[in-house]
C-alpha cells in the first residue's frame, strides 16, 4: 500500500487537492463543498502548550470553587460544577449523570491532559509515547466537550433561581467564563498538523 503525502482530501466531499503550504492564520475552503478543510493556527506549539497549561489551572479553580451560592429564609447553600452533575445521580434519573459528568468534567480534562502530553514532546519535534492513540482520541473527544454549554447553563440557572432566592455568583463562575475562552483557543487548532511537525523516534 502506498501513501501520498503531497495530496489532501476534503473529508466532507472527497475532493482531492495538492497539499498547499499555508502561513500561520491562513486557511483554505474546499472549492466543491465550501467546507473549511485546512487551516494553520496562529498559535505555535509553545503558545499552544502554555495556554493548555493555563486552562488546566483554571479548570481546577472552576471545579473546586462554588459556582453559585443561594440563600433562602436564612438558609444558605452553594454548589460546585461537580456537585451539580452529581445531583442528577439522585432521584429517578441516575443514568443522566453519566453523560453530564463526561461532557462537562471528564472529556474537557482528558482533552487538556492529552493535548498537553503531545505538545510537551512536540516542542522538541518529537512524538510522545502513545502518540498515535492520543492523536486519535483527541479527534474523537473534540465534539463531546461542552464547557461553553455549561457556562450558559449556569447563567440560565441564576436567572431562573433569582426569582425566588437570593443568588450570588461564585468564583467558580468567573473561572468557567475564562475557561470557556481558553478552551476554545486550545481546542480549535487542527491537531492533525502535529503529525507533520514531529518525527517519530522509531519507524512507523
Partner 1 sequence: MSMRPRAHELGVIGCHACGLVCEAPGTTTHATQCLLCGAVLHARRPNSLSLAWALLWAAMIFYIPANLLPVMHTDMLGSSSGSTIAAGIVEFWKSGSYGIALVIFTASVAVPCAKFLIIGLLLVTAQRRTPWARRERALLYRLVEQIGYWSMLDVLVVAIVAGLVKFKSLADIEPRLGILFFGGMVILTMLSAMQFDPRLTWDGNET
CB of residue 194 vs partner 1: minimum separation in angstroms?
9
For position 28 contacting partner 1 by CB under 8 A, the verdict is no
Residue 22: alpha-carbon gap to chain centroid:
24
CB of residue 91 vs partner 1: minimum separation in angstroms?
5
For position 50 contacting partner 1 by CB under 8 A, the verdict is no
CB contact at 8 A, 149 and 183: no
Phi/psi-derived region of residue 74, left when phi > 0, alpha when psi is between -120 and 50, beta in every other case: left
C-alpha closest to that of 84 among 165, 166, 3, 176: 176
For position 32 contacting partner 1 by CB under 8 A, the verdict is yes
DSSP string, 115-164: HHHHHHHHTTTBPPTTHHHHHHHHHHHGGG--HHHHHHHHHHHHHHHHTT
Q: Which of 20, 25, 26, 33 touches partner 1 (CB under 8 A)?
A: 33
For position 72 contacting partner 1 by CB under 8 A, the verdict is yes
Site residues for partner 1 per CB under 8 A = 1-5, 7-17, 31-35, 67-68, 70, 72-73, 75, 77-79, 83-88, 90-93, 95-96, 99-100, 103-104, 132, 135-136, 139, 143-144, 146, 149-150, 152-154, 156-157, 159-161, 163-165, 192, 195, 204
Amino acid at each position: 500500500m502506498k501513501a501520498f503525502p503531497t495530496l489532501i482530501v476534503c473529508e466532507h466531499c472527497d475532493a482531492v487537492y495538492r497539499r498547499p503550504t499555508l502561513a500561520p492564520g491562513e486557511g483554505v475552503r474546499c472549492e466543491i463543498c465550501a467546507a473549511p478543510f485546512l487551516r494553520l493556527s496562529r498559535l505555535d506549539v509553545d503558545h499552544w502548550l502554555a495556554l493548555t497549561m493555563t486552562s488546566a489551572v483554571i479548570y481546577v479553580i472552576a471545579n473546586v470553587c462554588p459556582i453559585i451560592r443561594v440563600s433562602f429564609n436564612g438558609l444558605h447553600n452553594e454548589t460546585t460544577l461537580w456537585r451539580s452533575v452529581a445531583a442528577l445521580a439522585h432521584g429517578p434519573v441516575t443514568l443522566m449523570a453519566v453523560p453530564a459528568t463526561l461532557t462537562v468534567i471528564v472529556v474537557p480534562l482528558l482533552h487538556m491532559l492529552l493535548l498537553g502530553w503531545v505538545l510537551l514532546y512536540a516542542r522538541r519535534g518529537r512524538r510522545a509515547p502513545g502518540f498515535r492513540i492520543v492523536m486519535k482520541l483527541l479527534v474523537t473527544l473534540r465534539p463531546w466537550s461542552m464547557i461553553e454549554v455549561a457556562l450558559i447553563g449556569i447563567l440560565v440557572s441564576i436567572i431562573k433561581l433569582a426569582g425566588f432566592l437570593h443568588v450570588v455568583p461564585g468564583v467558580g463562575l468567573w473561572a468557567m467564563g475564562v475557561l470557556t475562552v481558553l478552551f476554545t483557543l486550545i481546542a480549535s487548532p487542527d491537531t492533525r498538523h502535529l503529525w507533520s511537525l514531529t518525527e517519530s523516534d522509531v519507524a512507523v
